[in-house]
Amino acid sequence: MSVQRDVVITEVALRDGSHAIAHQYTVEQVLQVAKALGEANVPYIEVSHGDGLGGSSLQYGLSRTNEMELIEAAVSVCGPAKIAVLVIPGIGTIKQMKEAANLGVKMARIATHVTEADVSAQHLSVAKEMGLETVGFLMMAHMAPVEKLVEQAALMESYGADTVYIVDSAGALLPHQVRERVRALRQSLGVNIGFHAHNNLSLAMANTLAAIEEGAQRIDGSIRCLGAGAGNTQTEVLVAVLDRMGIQTGIDLYKIMDAAEEIVAPILQVPQEITRDNLVLGYAGVYSSFLLHAQRASKRFAIDSRDILVELGKRQVVGGQEDMIVDVAAELAQQQP
C-alpha cells in the first residue's frame, strides 16, 4: 500500500553517521538499524562509507567492515524501504556503483563540490541507464553564489538527476540563505529539490524547515542526529515537527523514536552535541567530516584544533583534500614561538 508523503525523507545515519564513529559500523549494527528504520516506514536509507562508495582508505578513514557487506545486510532487512548509496566521482567508481545495484540498491546519490557538477555526468547517466533513482548532490553549497548554484544544478538535471540537493556540508548556511537557494532552484529546475543540513550552528532544523517552506520535497535526516560534525537534522524530531505542521512523511513517529532511543543511541561513541570544534566547523565553513581528522592532527602537533579548522576555512579547503589537514597543522606548529 502506498503511503501519502508531502516530504520524502532519506535517513543518512548509516552513511553520514559513519564519520561520527570513525567508519566502524558492524554488520550487526546495520542489520538492527536498517530493520528498525524499515519498520518505521522510512522510505530511503543511505548506506556506505561516510565518503561514499570506495571511501575506505588511509586518507578518508578505513572502514571496519566492507561496505558491500553492510549494503547487503541493509537490503536484506529493510522491508519496503529502499537503500541508497553516495558516490563521489574520483572516489567511488562506476564498477562499485554497479556492484551495489546488483546487491539491491535503488538510489544513487552522486556528490560533487558545488562548482564541479560536470564531473557527475558519467555517474548520473550510467545510474539512470541502470534503472536507479538518481540524485545530484551539490556539497559545500555555502561556497558558491546563488547564480552558480543554479548553473551547476541545471547541469546535474541535464545529466539525468531526478532530484538535485543543496548540501550544507559545513553547517554554515543561515535560514535566509537556504530560502534564496531553494527558491532559485525551484524557479529554474523541473526536477525535485532536496536539502541536506548539518547542525554545527544549531540551525539544521531551522534551515530544513526553511527549505521545505520554499518547496524542497526531499529532505535528509539522521536518527539521533548521528552524522559528521554536530550531526544532521534529527530525523525523529523532524518527523514530530512536520506532523505538528500537518506535513506528511509517512514515518511512524513512535517507531522512529524507539529506534533512536533503543538502537542508535548505544552506537554513539559520544553524544551528538555542538562542541567548540563543531561550532568552528560552521563558523569557518569547513567540511563537517574534517572534524575527527583535525582533532587527530591537533594531538599530533600540539595545536588547537580550532586554529586548524579556521585556517582550513581561510584556505577554502574542500572534501577530498583531507591530506591538507596534516599539512596545515604542521605549518601552524612551525609558526609557534
pLDDT of 1 above 50? no
Q: Is residue 218 part of a domain?
A: yes
Mean pLDDT of 104-119: 97
Residues 175, 211, single domain; the answer is: yes
Examine the residue annotation and report whether 23 is marked as an active-site residue of this protein. no
Beta strand 8-11 pairing with 82-87: unpaired
pLDDT of 293 above 90? no
d(CA 182, CA 211): 6
Q: Is residue 16 part of a domain?
A: yes
Domain that holds residue 163: 8-266
Residue 258 annotated as part of some ligand binding site: no
Task: Record the pTM.
Answer: 0.93
Residue 39's nearest CA partner among 218, 256, 242, 220 is 256
Residues 242, 93, single domain; the answer is: yes
Residues 208, 329, single domain; the answer is: no
d(CA 51, CA 303): 26
Q: Is residue 30 part of a domain?
A: yes
Residues 261, 285, single domain; the answer is: no
d(CA 227, CA 231): 4
**Which of 19, 23, 113, 123 is labelled catalytic?**
19
Residue 27's nearest CA partner among 81, 63, 79, 55 is 63
Tell me the CATH number at 212: 3.20.20.70
d(CA 300, CA 81): 43
Residue 198 annotated as part of some ligand binding site: yes
SS3 content of the chain, % helix, strand, coil (to 5): 50, 15, 35
Q: Is residue 2 part of a domain?
A: no
Residues 256, 310, single domain; the answer is: no
Q: Is residue 286 part of a domain?
A: yes
Residues 58, 185, single domain; the answer is: yes
Q: What is the pLDDT of residues 272-290, one digit of tens each?
A: 899 999 999 999 999 887 8
d(CA 249, CA 220): 12
Q: Is residue 271 part of a domain?
A: no
Residues 286, 311, single domain; the answer is: yes
Q: Is residue 123 part of a domain?
A: yes
Beta bridge partner(s), residue 82 = 44
Residue 123 annotated as part of some ligand binding site: no
Q: Is residue 331 part of a domain?
A: yes
Domain total for the chain? Answer: 2
Q: What is the pLDDT confidence band of residue 64, given thresholds at 50, 70 and 90?
A: confident
Output the nine-digit C-alpha cell for 280. 568552528
Beta strand 192-196 pairing with 163-167: parallel
Mean pLDDT of 145-167: 98
Tell me the CATH number at 326: 1.10.8.60
| Side chain identity, residue 55 | G
Residue 169 annotated as part of some ligand binding site: yes
